[in-house]
Amino acid sequence: MHLKTYLQETIENLNETIKSNIPSEMEKAISISLTAIEKNQIVIVAGNGGSMADAQHLVAELVNFFTLEHKPLPFLTLGVNPASASAWANDHEFDTQMLREFNAFSANCGALIVISTSGNSKNIQNLIKDAKKQRIPVIAFTSERAISNFEEMPDVILAVPVSQTARIQEMHVNLMHFFCEEIEKSLPSQ
């Protein structure tokens, strides 16, 4: 594949994403997250593999700052403490490893953001179920193909209309950057 072809496909994926319901869902995601920040609650972010890397990226942008300087915002990525993560997964099971960590912080959690290209991960499914039981709003950066795999539906679904995993992740990065920029713009003056 030539670079021009690759970039043209990216443009087509962006155009399809514009036509989806993501703009209205994004407004909800931003509103839920800002409410949590205003209440001094944590926004917890989780994903596996490349989605965990994206979760860390999103959190880093907001704990530090993306385009506008601001105080550190209370965003936290699950699974990035290897001792805790591997201890629970080794002694118990991987499917509840993130849930265990989530429950250490959930009393102070105002929103859960999950990132999943497939919707198949048991540990993400368990997080969504538990957050819903605790009445914690759940925001999902996902794909249209993943929606049918969710056992319990997130409150906000940012489902990109792309099927290839790498391309879904590309759209997620664009959406996450927009999310970060809008969160920063909406903060009260420091």
d(C-alpha 185, C-alpha 152), whole Å: 32
Name which of 117, 114, 26 is nearest 78 in CA terms. Answer: 114
Do 151 and 10 meet the contact criterion of CB atoms below 8 Å apart? no
Torsion of CA 92, 103, 22, 187, to 10 degrees: -140
Per residue of the chain (190 residues), give pLDDT as tens.
799 999 999 999 999 998 999 999 999 999 999 999 999 999 999 999 999 999 999 999 999 999 999 999 999 999 998 898 888 888 888 899 999 999 999 999 999 999 999 999 999 999 999 999 999 999 999 999 999 999 999 999 999 999 999 999 999 999 999 999 999 999 986 5
Q: pLDDT at position 94, please? A: 87
d(C-alpha 190, C-alpha 162), whole Å: 39
Helix 165-186 / helix 3-19 crossing angle, nearest 10 deg: 60
Query: Which residues does residue 47 pair with via DSSP β-bridges, in sequence order?
Result: 115
Q: pLDDT at position 190, please? A: 56
DSSP 26: H
95's tokens? 């499917």
d(C-alpha 145, C-alpha 123), whole Å: 19
